Amino acid sequence: MKELKRVILKLSGEALSGEAKSGYDDALIEDIAHQVKKIVEKGIDVGVVIGGGNYWRGRSNDNIDRTKADQIGMLATIMNCIYVSEIFRSCGIKTNILTPFECGSMTKLFSKDRANKYFGKGMVVFFAGGTGHPYFSTDTGIVLRAIELDADAILLAKAIDGVYDSDPKINPAAKKYDTLPIQEVVDKKLGVIDMTASVMCMENKMPLMIFGLNEKDSILNAMTGKFNGTVVTVD
């Protein structure tokens, strides 16, 4: 993989909540902030996308229209980005939040030029609200932003420390992949990210690094070569 000068970090909403499985684990978020600060201080651009799973897991009732359910999910990601952005600021990081639709004075409207301007100022840029359209997940949203902004890689910080050939919670003998071609992810429907996002990565040659958020210094390690997760290759 080439030198990483710009990355988009995906944080799982569920992982941010820690053991509580809802709300926020402030100590965990502060630890993430300190890791990201060290990365930014090296001159690397960092964008952040956060899922909404600590608030909303999608439609659970047929009485709710799918489009409306997805809109609730978009708002959940915005709340998460506002919260985490404030924690980052308290740790001395300059931030800004961009959304694909207007949110009054709480965020700024996304454009590539605006994002690049903020990166140029050394800011961590949060991309909230997904794509702004229903039926597209935050996985698809992060891949879209990474491609648009010419990122070198996507970092997926999850509750699990990589990609396995079967569910390690069910199968103790499950094997973790060190590297995995994106074509295999698509062909075997491995569910690293959703299928739409996987195909976009394959067609646009966007590599992925998947690792455990709860592992000590895992984000820093992903950036410095001390990687303990799975690299999804696109060559």
In this prediction, residue 97 has a pLDDT band, given cuts at 50, 70 and 90, of very high
Topology (CATH level 3) of domain 6-233 = Carbamate kinase (3.40.1160)
In this prediction, residue 167 has a pLDDT band, given cuts at 50, 70 and 90, of confident
Task: Take residue 124 and report the two structure tokens written for it.
Answer: 């961590």
Please spell the DSSP secondary structure of 100-142, one letter per residue.
SS-BTBSSEE--HHHHHHHHHTT-EEEE-STTSSTT--HHHHH
- State the Cα–Cα distance between residues 28 and 36, nearest whole angstrom: 12
Task: Give pLDDT tens digits for 34-80.
Answer: 999 999 999 999 999 999 988 887 777 778 899 999 999 999 999 99
Task: Give pLDDT tens digits for 184-213.
Answer: 999 988 888 999 999 999 999 999 999 998
Q: What is the residue extent of each domain of the chain?
A: 6-233
Strands 208-212 and 230-233: antiparallel
| pTM listed for this prediction | 0.94
